[in-house]
Structure 1
Amino acid sequence: MESNIQSGSPTSPHAKNINDRVCEDMDNSNPSELPENIENFSKIIESRIAKCNSGETPTRSGKITEEESFFLEAVMHLSKLTNAIDKSPSGSTLLSRTNAVLQKAMTFMEEELRTLLEDFGSHSNSKVNKNSQVDEDYPSYPLDVVTRMNRIATAMISAGFETVCCQVYSISRRNAFYEQMKMLEFEKINVDDVQRMSWDSLEGEITRWINVAKSCSNTLFPGERRLGESVFSDSPMISQSLFNNLARSIVIQILDFAEAVSRTKHSAEKLFKYLDIYDTIRDLINAISESLSINDTEHQLKSEILATRDRFGEAAVNIFCDLENSIKNDVARTPVPGGAVHPLTRYVMNYLKCACEYKDALEHIFKEHAKLEAYSTKSKSSVDDQVDNKESESPHDNVAVTTPLTAQLMTIMDLVDVNLKAKSNLYRDPSLRDIFLMNNGRYILQKAKGSTEVRQVMGDTWCRRRSTTVRQYHKNYQRETWGRVLQILSHDGMQVNGKVTKPVVKERFKNFSTMLDDIHRTQSTWVVSDEQLRSELRVSISAVLIPAYRSFCGRFRQYLDNTKHADKYIKYQPEDIETLVEGLFDGNPTSMARRKT
């Protein structure tokens, strides 16, 4: 029997019979043949190890062989026998023998597992595409290799070598993970270095950090979780613990940089990168939460991630507060030439348009902020109810639904309105005030309508209110400027003592021409940059002015037909009026110097 074991294949029928006999003896608690069978069984294991060490049997094949399968089963059986012997008072000699064999088997399997992890994973652990993203199939171990690692891990854990098995796996996968991060150009940056960086430089580092963190959330962590669950399919608690430990070590490094960024001086230009980081951290939480067990360590890790995320949420809230203050404090002494759109309006609307692209994050941030503000005086349940109810109410009459973000943006828009109203008073001409307010109101409306995100936040009702306000400015302008002109073209007051006289007709035509010239000279320097609004203004002016002038000419021109120098009084023909109107609101530079506000 002994010669067959040492010279023949351990998977021979004779060897399998020995295995069966050993297992049967153990199960039946028959110790009579244990010494001989254990010795034979130990030699089977030693024979396999010796052949692999001598190079007779290839060990770097991915697929598990029948011989290796039998070897792993033999290890597990010998481990069970060792436990049985350990309980026997007369088994000290056998125990020494089996322990020695199992130690050799452990060393052998440890190396086998390490080889599989490193050699078959080396190509897949270095797959970063041209967009600096990790391939989605990470880590792409062949199925045969994963199966083989699973069998080895199961055998090691069953034989009592769980700690060694986990160490080999953990070190190998952690090194592979760090290699991926290195290929994604992740570098540890000292907190002081972050504080000293210019914002342009720091933006680049943040972009790189986001790429790494998203790769971890979307690919690396899920891949590591799947691999661990496959290799340790028989030990889910071990798989979870290994993933938790890996995730914790990686997340701590990722959070260190985010923490440093959160402590830099806040400014409006940083908001969008802050929100990128906020969203990235939120994805990170989702990526690891389902695998984190509920114990103090994992709870602490999740708390740290949430705390870092909330710091960026708090920074966003503070930036919006700063924006409110900057609008309040934006006091100008010089009006914008031509009543054009004010730079403040452009800045705020473009800023809010970009901010609303982060609508989901900001909704969450302001909702949490509203709860925190209410916690000081309310219970948690009542606070939640208060915030939820607030989302179904509106502080503005014509808004159906108001969320904390909507309320925040409406506050900002109200401040802009107050600011613009104050700036309109810099214009001495009431008509130009209306043009200024109309320009800015139209710009705000078009920006809101042109952005799906802004429109979703503000609502269609708010847009309709804005349209009504702009139309009112239009009416005010029409009445202020052209009401006086239409008064001149009125037929009332044309008769003296019941008759139309030339002096009266001359005076009316002269006043009309003079007023039209003044309006054209002044308002051709005014600016209406929105083409549609400019067209609407011109059409509305022509619609009231041309018919009124044509009617006036048709009724009273005859009184000057035979008058010398009649063209001195009747300067314009009805068809000339449209040409003049078309010259309004172009911001004519040749006339700007003569503009009087």
Structure 2
Amino acid sequence: MRSLCFSSSRTPSFSISRGRSVSPSRTSLSSTPRRRFSESMIEQTIDTAATIIMKWDAETSAYAKVTSLFYESKREAMQFIKSVNDLQKIMHLLVSEESGSDLRLVRAQHLMQIAMKRLQKEFYQILSMNRAHLDPESVSTRSSRTSASARSSLSDFDDDGSPEDEIRAAGDSISEVEEVSSMVMSDLKSIADCMIGSGYAKECIHIYKIIRKSIIDEGIYKLGVEKMSSSQINKMDWDVLEFKIKNWLEAVRISMKTLFTGERILCDHVFATSDSIRESCFADISKEGGTLLFGFPELVAKTKKSPPEKIFRVLDMYTAVSENWQEIDTIFSFESTSVVRQAALNSLIRLSESVRSLLADFESAIQKDSSKAMVPGGGLHALTMYSMNYLTLLADYTNILADIISDWPPPAKSSLPESYFDSPESDESQAAPAMSVRIAWLILVLLCKLDGKAKHYKDVSLSYLFLANNLQHVISRVRTSNLRYILGEEWITKHEAKVRQFSANYERLAWGHVFDSLPVNPTAPMTAGQAKESFRKFNTSFEDAYWKQRSCIVPDGKLRDEIKVSIGRKLVTAYRELYNNHKSTVGDERAARLFVRFSPEDVGNYLSDLFFGTVSSGGSSSSSSTSSHRRHMRSPR
């Protein structure tokens, strides 16, 4: 501590209080030669100092005991500081003349002790009584630590100027609160400069550390950050831990904007004359709170039993630390506060490891999904909806994730059958960004799992509808989220082609026998018997297809319309030709009612009412038009 106390950039001094030995400063010996001072000047300086110092001696003056020098008269406070500094110079002069037994030196020593006790009291009072004006938020509003340190302290004013006027002029551009804060900070700096220059740095630092550390500790506590162990966090329910994480995220925002920033500005300003003292004070004040704050994410990252959505809170914490890293590095730039920087860095490392682990767990969970229940109507599988919700949320952390997985080795294709890759020998993925590769891989794992689930359908056409529905949902979520920018238009185009392929397969298998029931050339001449047989075959096949497909579900409106338009374009067009050309061929009106049960409009209406589903997971069971046409339709046998 002595090395800190005597490392001030001001003229080094000697200690004189409570048994300290009087030792000369070599610098002072050469800088204050005897010839500058006459004997009368020495006496006059000591007398002048004695007048003001004894006036404010709390042990001999009841007035001084209950009154604050700096609050009573700022001009007199500056005169007090000036007198102490002058007294210090005289003491150096007397010591340089080896006048250790000089009564004047003894008197000066006694006055200095009284003055230091007074300044200690003033320093404590200003710190303790101005907590509101020295709160980190008020202090941190100052433009920068540089401007704070550059502001002139009140100790720099001489008798010709008014300190109040100078501060008022400087305060024109800041708020009233900031003006008071600036004035208080200048008072503290004046006292600190004087005490450090007089060899009383230890006393000054001790007071400062006790009061200001309580500010940091209280602030951290009020922000909801508390000391916890790994075992405590591991035992917490996820809801409780998530609540603490949200508290921590807010605590980081506030503490970096005001709490630590304000304390660093204040400390830099008050102890601007000594880098070593400044570092020591700020380190002792902030180190414990800083390590507590930035050590929390590492503890969370180490928790073993957590739900999959933990990854989003982990990414939030990673974002909070990384976005504040420059401020962390600046505020805790001292070597003695490197433990705080290291705590933040360790948290980033642990959080990134946790993200990778959670992504691997997500992939594993998809691959291990063993549910064999078929989705009614070929609709959306719960795994598809959950997985795409998960991935679209992940896409909101694109920049952070890209940083975390940039050097993560790409997944091994050997974990999936080669048939799932368009070109197994292609190296295109090697050139793609790691983020795109990883997300595309997770979707591929999902699609492969869905392909396996589609095989559980006994009706093959329904399995293709299931694949079309689920892939369409994947594409839709990609298009309407940040996944679009990660995967790109080429990926979307390629998978849209697969949806069309699945839809075509469904159409061929589900409606092919209806298409086949119609004559190859509906306009060719027919006998009445041939016409009756053509209409009978169509009626039967269309009814069978309709009753099978009326419970099918196509949740996506665009895909639903595309499928119906495709079927309708082929079916209604061909049937209209048969209807227009051979309805009359069947026979009279009675025969027509018996064999021609559907008009082309009826067929179109029935197709329009398909794919809304009749099960709870689908949409509405049917539209009102269905009931008006169902009189034509016989129930399945």
TM-superposed deviation, 1:580: 0.6
Q: CA 1:397–1:196 in 2, change beyond 3 Å: closer, same or farther?
A: same
Aligned 1:129-148 pairs, distance under 5 A? 137=141, 142-148=181-187
Secondary structure at the aligned position of 2:225 is classed as coil
TM-score, normalised to structure 2, is 0.76
1:442 aligns with 2:472: yes
Q: Deviations over 1:198-257 (max 9, x none)?
A: 111222222222222221112211222222233234445543443343332211222454
Partner of 1:512: 538
1:292 aligns with 2:321: no
Q: Deviations over 1:100-126 (max 9, x none)?
A: 322322222122122112212246649
Q: Aligned letter for 1:406? A: S
1:402 aligns with 2:432: yes
CA distance in 2, matches of 1:197, 1:403: 37
Aligned 1:57-72 pairs, distance under 5 A? 58-59=67-68, 65-72=74-81
Q: Aligned letter for 2:384? A: T
Partner of 1:162: 201
CA distance in 2, matches of 1:396, 1:221: 52
Q: CA 1:579–1:398 in 2, change beyond 3 Å: closer, same or farther?
A: farther
Contact 1:266 1:319 in 2 (8 A): no
1:269 aligns with 2:309: yes
CA distance in 2, matches of 1:248, 1:368: 32
Contact 2:133 2:181 in 1 (8 A): no
CA distance in 1, matches of 2:139, 2:314: 27
Q: Aligned letter for 1:36? A: E
Partner of 2:444: 414
User: Which residue among 538, 555, 558 is the counterpart of 1:529?
Assistant: 555
Q: Deviations over 1:538-563 (max 9, x none)?
A: 23322222222111212232320338
1:457 aligns with 2:457: no
Q: Aligned letter for 2:507? A: Q
Secondary structure at the aligned position of 2:57 is classed as helix
For structure 2, the residue ranges without an aligned partner over 5 or more in a row are: 1-28, 143-176, 412-424, 622-634
Aligned 1:544-559 pairs, distance under 5 A? 544-559=570-585
TM-superposed deviation, 1:342: 0.7
Q: Aligned letter for 2:77? A: E
Aligned 1:482-493 pairs, distance under 5 A? 482-492=511-521
CA distance in 2, matches of 1:333, 1:97: 97
CA distance in 2, matches of 1:422, 1:559: 50
Partner of 1:221: 260
Partner of 1:473: 502
1:427 aligns with 2:457: yes
Partner of 2:529: 503
TM-superposed deviation, 1:314: 0.6
TM-superposed deviation, 1:363: 1.7
Contact 1:181 1:212 in 2 (8 A): yes
Contact 1:170 1:242 in 2 (8 A): yes
Aligned 1:9-28 pairs, distance under 5 A? 26=32
Q: Deviations over 1:47-94 (max 9, x none)?
A: 342389532694275597221112112222322333343333233434
Q: Aligned letter for 1:279? A: T
**Greater relative contact order, per chain length (Cα 8 Å cut-off, separation 6+):** 2
User: Which residue among 46, 49, 59 is the counterpart of 1:39?
Assistant: 46
Contact 1:445 1:467 in 2 (8 A): yes
TM-superposed deviation, 1:322: 0.8
CA distance in 1, matches of 2:72, 2:515: 96
Q: CA 1:403–1:41 in 2, change beyond 3 Å: closer, same or farther?
A: farther
TM-superposed deviation, 1:95: 4.2
CA distance in 1, matches of 2:207, 2:407: 43
Q: CA 1:543–1:493 in 2, change beyond 3 Å: closer, same or farther?
A: closer
CA distance in 2, matches of 1:88, 1:462: 89
Contact 2:551 2:612 in 1 (8 A): yes
1:208 aligns with 2:247: yes
Aligned length: 541
1:183 aligns with 2:216: no
Contact 2:52 2:80 in 1 (8 A): yes
CA distance in 2, matches of 1:85, 1:46: 20
Secondary structure at the aligned position of 2:372 is classed as coil
CA distance in 1, matches of 2:140, 2:595: 83
Contact 2:126 2:188 in 1 (8 A): yes
1:89 aligns with 2:129: no
Contact 1:49 1:108 in 2 (8 A): yes
TM-superposed deviation, 1:353: 1.5
CA distance in 2, matches of 1:274, 1:424: 35
Contact 2:136 2:259 in 1 (8 A): no
Contact 1:125 1:179 in 2 (8 A): no
User: Which residue among 345, 353, 360 is the counterpart of 1:321?
Assistant: 360
CA distance in 1, matches of 2:497, 2:265: 58
CA distance in 2, matches of 1:63, 1:438: 84
User: Which residue among 46, 54, 57 is the counterpart of 1:50?
Assistant: 57
Secondary structure at the aligned position of 1:290 is classed as helix
Partner of 1:538: 564
CA distance in 2, matches of 1:318, 1:507: 66
CA distance in 1, matches of 2:577, 2:523: 14
Q: Aligned letter for 1:474? A: S
For structure 1, the residue ranges without an aligned partner over 5 or more in a row are: 1-22, 128-133, 374-394
TM-superposed deviation, 1:467: 2.2
TM-superposed deviation, 1:503: 3.4
1:117 aligns with 2:127: yes
CA distance in 2, matches of 1:400, 1:184: 46
TM-superposed deviation, 1:306: 0.8
CA distance in 2, matches of 1:294, 1:396: 51
CA distance in 2, matches of 1:116, 1:320: 54
CA distance in 1, matches of 2:430, 2:544: 46
Q: CA 1:58–1:32 in 2, change beyond 3 Å: closer, same or farther?
A: same
Q: Deviations over 1:419-477 (max 9, x none)?
A: 111111112323212211111111111111222x2222222332222322222222332
Q: Aligned letter for 1:197? A: M
Q: CA 1:299–1:589 in 2, change beyond 3 Å: closer, same or farther?
A: closer
Contact 1:240 1:292 in 2 (8 A): no
TM-superposed deviation, 1:368: 5.1
TM-superposed deviation, 1:410: 1.1
Contact 2:188 2:270 in 1 (8 A): yes
Pick which of 268-277 and 519-528 moved more: 268-277
